[in-house]
Structures are given as structure tokens and as C-alpha cells.
A and B are shown apart, each in its own frame.
Chain A
Amino acid sequence: MTPASDLVADVIAAVGTRAEAEALADVGSTALTRFANSFIHQNVSEDVSTVSLRLALDGRIASATSTVTTPDDVHRLVTSALQLASLQPVDPDWPGVGEAVEQPVVDHWDEATAAADPVARAETVRRFVDAGEGLSAAGYCETAAHSTAYLNTRGRTGSGRYTTATLDGIQQTESSAGSGHASGVALGSIDAGAIGAQASGRAEQSRGAFDAKPGDYEVVLSPECVATMTIFLSFYGFNGKAAEEGLSFVELGERRFDPAIQLWDDATDPRALHLGFDAEGTPKRHLGLIESGVTTHLLHNRRTAAKAGTTSTGHAASGADAFGAFATNLFVGEGAETVEDLVSGVERGIYVSTFNYCRVLDPKSLVVTGLTRNGTFMIENGRITDPVTNLRFTQSFIDAWADGSVLGIGGDARFADSEFGPSLVHAPSMRLASWRFTGGAEG
């Protein structure tokens, strides 16, 4: 396979002095072993070699992406993009490509994960399945190893590599299910037996669930639920494009949340995943988004930053200008309490293991509807009692973290799965004063 750095060099060399241009290449492999009914039913491996080119010809912009990377293909890619650009209207908001910058040293890489073969993934799956002791297991184990390179015509460069490993699964009885999840840089750091046992414990505990009456309840949310709340707040609220267009709730400097809430994005954290630069070659750094309940910064790519009169924060995603800036290394500040501590303070409430199928009703008020899944329980007099069937909620995620609403934060932060996928948010459990459940199994 041609290295990513060679691909971007070939593309920028082919553009020459004919246009302002930037190229991003991704080379590597992703493999995923999927299981259901306690056996491996889908098992895939994908070689990846992609190069994307964006260029500006006198302010006229076009982009092209290709998986074909021979010298002839590169020439065709560049010729096509130049021809496309020549026929476009001038883009008045084109910010130009960035100047050369020093990149931070970020290397979230594990050699053993990069070399993981299908047998290693199958053995991980087997440990998860066996932990269910006869329950019906389903889920997946994924490993990925990628190298990425960036180069533009102003000499900005970036290169990096990353590995990721994820195990996500459920154990099912005939009437209930429980989930478990882990993700990180190294497959070796994932204790598949423990995650499978957690899932089976939740599934067993969920047998015989009853229909709880919809209404407002105090809740204790797992890291998965908090991760989904966080990614929605980030995507719809802290996205610089949404803010510029008036679609976001964020007013910088405003105390919008409970003082217990801390939220930041940091690809340089040793615990983080993925790359140290974005799709425009901008270095990533620690960026506070909520500090003691106060909104402090927005996420920007070069386009949104230029419109806001500031600089990019390193949150450009490839081909995502229509959506704006996107954070992929979010950290929610954790507390010191255990889940038992959080539950112990609740007189009557509900514990939620995961949210499912969350959708925004209005992006500005961030009212979201979704359901609970894979383990929902009543909390009575400080302890988890009976399982309840899945509930539908319709809740503003902003209001849920409002001043006075955050009653406790766990010390159990980890990379949790979210509505937008795994490995994006490092989140703890959280106790919240009120959550509006608007329907149950009977509607």
C-alpha cells in the first residue's frame, strides 16, 4: 500500500502552482467481528486507501475524493477537481488553506492492536459469550489501525497514526437484555469476560420488568447516556456553524449549566483516541467548552472561524463543511462517587443503562426524544429495586444539566458508546434531578 504521506505529496505535486490546494489521505485497515445468538455471524476486514483533495482556483472551490491511487488516478483526480472548480462561482467565505504550523506529538497507537488478526477478535468474542453462561449474546469486536497524512500548498503538513479497539455487546434472557462496552487504543486493555459478565448481570436483573408510569423522575444515568447527551450538546450547540447561524443555544460566557459540569475536548490527552490534527491540518489542543457551568468556547473549522473572526480550534471533519465543526475527543469532568453512592441519595427515581434512537425535535432548545434500553430500573429509598420496561423520554438536554439539576457525578468516567458511536466521549455516570418520561411500553 502506498503510504499516506506519499499520496498527499503526489496529489499536491500534481496540482503544482495551478491552485491553492490541500490533500488528506487515510491508509490502513479496519476489521470487525460481529456475533448474535452467541455465534459469529458476520466477520469483515477492510483495507482502506483514500485520498481527498480540496482546491481553490481564484476563489472557486471544488473537492474530489478517490480510493484509486495509482499515478494515473492521481492525475485524473487533480484534473477533475481543477475542471470542476473552474466552472464554479466564487465562494466568498473561502478561508484559504492554513499556513505551516508545528504539530503536537500525538500517537495513540498500540502495535499489538495493529497486528490483531481474526483469531484474536474471535477469542475476545468467545470470552464475552462465555461470560453469559448460556444467555444469548450479541455484539461486535472491532480493531482498526490507520495512518493519516495532510499536506497543503502553503507547506502545512500533518501526519499521524492511531489504533482503536472496541467491544460492545449485550446478553439476553428470553425477556430482557443487559449491555456492556469498552473502547480504547489497545485490544489488550479490554477485559471481555468482565464486560460480558456486566451485561449478563444487567440482563438477569432485568427479568420480569414492569411498566412504569410515565412522568418526571430523578435519574441516575450511565456513562453511555451521559455520552449521548454530551455529543448532542457538542454537535448542535458548540458547533461554530450552528452558533453563527443562530441555531445554537450557546452564548459564550453565560452560566447555562450547573457549576458541577466541566466539558472539554482534548486529543492530546494520553487517554484520547485518534489523531492530533483535523482535516485541515489544524493542530488539536485542550479546548474548554463548559467550565463550572459556564460556556467558554465554540468548536471551529477554518471556515466557521473566519466568519466568527477567530481561529480554527482544529475541529474540521473531511467533507463536512455543510455540518460545521465536530469534536471527537470530548471529556466530561468526573466526580468521586460510585454508582451506589449516586443511587443512595435517590428516594424515588430511575436508573438508565443506555439510551436508544435519540432524535432532536428542535436544535436550539435541544429537546430530544429517545428510549431507554438494555436495563432500566426503579430506584426506591436509595437502592435499585425492580426492573422496568423501556421508557420513552422527551427532554431538553440543556435543562437536564441546568443550575441545580446535577446532584452527583460518578468517578467512573470511561470512553462510552453514544448515539453517534463509540470512542467520542469520555463520560462518567451522573445523577440528575429530573427527567421527563413521556411514554412506556403501552405508548
Chain B
Amino acid sequence: MFDEATLAVQAALDAGAAYSDARVVVARQETINVQNQNLTEFDRTETAGVGVRALIGSSWGFASTPHLDHASVRAAGERATEIAKASALVPGSPMEFADVPIEQGSWETPFEENPLDVSQSEKVDLLVGVTATAQEVDGVAIATGNLTFWDTDVWFVSSQGHRLHQHRVESGGGFDATAIGESETQRRSYPQSFGQFETGGYETVRAWDYQGNARRIAEEAVALLTAAEMEERETALVLEGSQLALQIHESVGHAIELDRILGWEAAFAGTSHLDLATLGTHRYGSEIMNITADATLPGALGTFGYDDEGTPAQAVDIVKDGIWVGVLSGRDSAAIAGLPPGGMVRADGFSRLPMVRMTNVGILPGAGSLGDIIADTDDGVYMATNRSWSIDDKRLNFQFGCEIAWEIKNGELGRMLKNPTYTGITPQFWGTLDRIAGPDEWVHWGTPNCGKGQPGQIAHTGHSASPGRFSNVRVGVRA
């Protein structure tokens, strides 16, 4: 496939591009859905094609085709340059392209069991069994299970000499149980909302013990129907790890994307409350807040060898001792900002333009355990597993809903509470972080559905987190 990528790049250059790169991507996806013990979907999707970028001055063009014959590939390269010329009709300022190591190499996700080679019956039986166990609990109306696997090959070539091959394997899934009341529904999910996804093979699914958690999750869903509503007040908030991971994703991960900071996403995803002039001095949170973007973490969902501009994966500090010190960037955005390129540009398949995306943006572990944090809390609430999320276009004003909560009184968990929500403003909220649990409860949570861009792209991102505690948070907001 290097030949096709090279042909596309050469065609773009021949048509007048100053720089070009191309990715040939062959992606296989398997999706399995089970509802109430019935298999409702077993789908395999295979996409293949080439996407070509062409740069003229400060103007980009991108074209893609699913046809890998030489004529179609050349035409895509030429079209990318034609589009770049049209972009120059509404031009931007002159742009540099940050230097990166020009590498020829390959990288592969470490995995034990290729998920596409695991027998179909084993995978279906797992989900049928989990939903059967959940349905044994009186009051469970709907039990669903999902497994999704991706097996992706990418061949990348640039006019500067890059020549890279990657083979990425990603696996995951989960299940949920729903109980339905007179005018409400209550749901519990495991391992987290939308499932848990990681880089690696089927061994990552086995590690989560779906079956061993099915009854508990189902019982909690039913119990929520008769649980007390959370009262609206300000109190200490302890977040379970996967909810803290989503809190990081929404209120840190997107805010530090350099394309948002530069205004490139202003009309859709939005901008950021962060101002580059305050990089290195802006207080993002309390002194125990340490965030990194680490694309090299073994097993995390946002781990790779090279990004889709050919830049090697990196680990960078984002927030250090509560101070904002880093961004997510690519070669063009980094050059404009005068920062080193972070190798954080990725695309959703061959037909999408690479753009700044999160890698593994996570919080470093602190000390102690969730149990220690609860024991150390006189009055508060503990919330687990996301149910809803909403945040404004500057990543400041957020409101999250969780599936379940418990009150905390005198260092112990008390009543179960339903429909828990909390709301806040990003820097004030992170400024109240006063406990973060230690490495024993630090998990590489994966988000398989991060939407961004036009046309829309879905990215797979990682967010390592352990449970944490925040003080004086407004909880219990409802209509």
C-alpha cells in the first residue's frame, strides 16, 4: 500500500502542491449487540481507501477515494491540490509547518488475542449470558450488551520522506440494565457508560468480568426507582474514576486543543476559555491536579506509534501542580503558536482530514483509596457512572448527570440517591480538588465516541483516572 500512498503524494505535487501526505487505511470493525438475550446485530464493516492532503502557501486541500486503482489514487492527489488552490481564494496568513523527525518505520499495538479471531459463539454467548443474569432480577425491563472491535492498518507517506506503517487493535464493550417506572427510567452500566475500550486484544474484555458484575448492576438499576431524589445543595463531591475521566475529557481535554484555542473550531465545537498568553501561569486547578497527555501508555485507548502526520507519539505535561503548561497540537497549529508539535493529529479513517485530537489525557494518581476518601468525608455525595454530559463552547460551564449516587455521612456511605447531577465552572471546580486516589485504583478509561469536526469525525481517546474529591460543588440540579 506504500505504492498507492506514494502515487497520491506525487500526483498532488505534480499538480502544484508544495507539500503533500497520504494515508492508505484499511479498517475492519466488528459490532455485536444483544438485547434481552437476543442477538440484534452482528456486523462486520470493512473500509479501505486513500486520503491525500495538499498544501499551497497557507491553504490546504484534502481529497479521498475508496478506489485504490492507480488512476483513482492519482485523481485524488490532483483533486487535493485543486481544492488547496480554491482555498487560496479566501486565504489566511502565511503559515509555517513545524519540523518533526522524518521517520520510516512501523508500530503495532501489543495484543494477545486478536478479537476478530475469537470465536463468534464465545463473544455472543458472553453477552447473552450477561443479559440473562441481569434479567433474572425482578424489575429489569431491558438488558443490553455490546462488543466492538477495530483492527486498522495505516500506511503513511509524505513528500518530506515519511514512510510509516501502523497496525492498531482496539477492543471493548459493556452492558447495561434498565428499569422503567411510571414516569422515569433508571439505568446502570458496566464497566462504564458506553462500555470500556482499550488498545489490545480480546484479553481486555476478559479482564473486566462482565458476568460477575451483572446481578449487582441489575439490582442497582431496580433499586434506583425507589431511591430518594438528591436534594439541591453545595457539598463535597466524590467522583468514581470513569466519571472523573469524562470530567477530564470535557473540561480539560477539549479546552487544551490548540485548534480550539486558535479559533479553528469556533463555529461548531467551540473555542476555549484558555488564552495562550497565560500558558505557564494560568491556575487550572488545585496543587494536586497533574494532567498529562501521554500517547505512549500501554493499553490506553489513545495510544499509538505515530499520529496521522507521521509525528512520533509523545508524553507531555498539560497541568502541573495545578498550573496550565501544555496543549494538544499538530504541525501547523504548533508552528502558529510557536510551540513544539505534540504529535496529536488524527483522522477518523481514510476519508477524513487529520485534526488535533486528544491522545490519553489523564490525571496522575495521588494517594490512598476511594475507601480512604469516603472515610475522610464528613458530609457529601459519591457519584458513579455518567448518564448525561453538557458543557458550553468555551469548556467552562458544565453539568453532568450520573447513573447513581450515595450520600456520605460521617465517613460512611449512606442512602442510595437517584438522578444525581452536579454543575460548575471549570477552573473553580478543579480548584476544589482536594483528594485523588492512588495508583491501585488508577484506570485507563477509554472514550470511543469523541465527536469533533465537520464533516463529523469520531475519535477514540483515553483518560486515566482514579476516584477524586471536590469541595463545595452544586449538586442536585433538575428541571
Footprint of B on A, CB under 8 Å? 1, 30-50, 61-69, 80-81, 84-85, 87-89, 91-93, 117-119, 121-123, 125-126, 129, 136, 138-140, 142, 168-170, 172, 177, 179, 245-247, 319, 321-322, 356-365, 367, 369-371, 373, 390, 392, 394-396, 399, 436, 438-443
CA–CA, A216 and B378, complex, Å: 34
Across the interface, do B477 and A48 meet the contact criterion of CB distance under 8 Å? no
Q: In this assembly, does B265 line the interface, its C-beta being within 8 Å of a C-beta of chain A?
A: yes
Interface-side segment among B77-85, B195-203, B361-369: B77-85
CA–CA, A442 and B424, complex, Å: 8
Q: A41-B264, A363-B185, A439-B477 are in contact. List 11 more A-B contacts (CB 8 A).
A: A39-B91, A40-B87, A40-B89, A41-B87, A44-B83, A45-B79, A118-B85, A169-B267, A371-B393, A392-B397, A396-B479
Across the interface, do B66 and A37 meet the contact criterion of CB distance under 8 Å? no
Which residues of A lie under 8 Å from residue B275 when comparing CB positions? none
Across the interface, do A39 and B90 meet the contact criterion of CB distance under 8 Å? yes
- Across the interface, A361 reaches (CB within 8 A) one of B355, B388, B396, B424, namely B388
Which residues of A lie under 8 Å from residue B424 when comparing CB positions? 443
Q: In this assembly, does B392 line the interface, its C-beta being within 8 Å of a C-beta of chain A?
A: yes
With A47-B66, A359-B390, A390-B397 known to touch, is A30 a contact of B38 (CB < 8 Å)?
A: no
Across the interface, do B38 and A93 meet the contact criterion of CB distance under 8 Å? yes
Closest to B30 in A: A84
Which residues of B lie under 8 Å from residue A91 when comparing CB positions? 38-40
- Across the interface, A43 reaches (CB within 8 A) one of B87, B184, B474, namely B87
Which residues of A lie under 8 Å from residue B58 when comparing CB positions? 39
Across the interface, do A322 and B40 meet the contact criterion of CB distance under 8 Å? yes
Which residues of B lie under 8 Å from residue A396 when comparing CB positions? 479
Footprint of A on B, CB under 8 Å? 33, 35, 38-49, 58-67, 72, 76, 79, 82-93, 120-121, 124, 128, 141-142, 144, 178, 180, 183-185, 262-268, 270, 351-353, 355, 387-393, 396-397, 399, 401, 419, 421, 423-425, 428, 454-455, 474, 477-479
B256: min CB distance to chain A, Å: 18
CA–CA, A274 and B392, complex, Å: 31
- Across the interface, B454 reaches (CB within 8 A) one of A32, A45, A118, A441, namely A32
Which residues of A lie under 8 Å from residue B184 when comparing CB positions? 362, 364-365
With A65-B46, A359-B390 known to touch, is A36 a contact of B479 (CB < 8 Å)?
A: no
- Across the interface, A370 reaches (CB within 8 A) one of B44, B390, B396, namely B390
With A32-B455, A46-B351 known to touch, is A67 a contact of B48 (CB < 8 Å)?
A: yes
Which residues of A lie under 8 Å from residue B419 when comparing CB positions? 361-362
CA–CA, A373 and B391, complex, Å: 12
Which residues of A lie under 8 Å from residue B48 when comparing CB positions? 67-68
Across the interface, do A45 and B87 meet the contact criterion of CB distance under 8 Å? no
Which residues of B lie under 8 Å from residue A358 when comparing CB positions? 390
Which residues of A lie under 8 Å from residue B399 when comparing CB positions? 369, 392, 394, 438-439
Closest to A440 in B: B397
B261: min CB distance to chain A, Å: 12
Closest to B455 in A: A32
Q: Which 9 A-B pairs have the closest CB atoms?
A: A118-B86, A39-B92, A138-B267, A67-B66, A138-B266, A65-B45, A40-B87, A122-B89, A44-B62
Which residues of B lie under 8 Å from residue A394 when comparing CB positions? 399, 421, 477-479
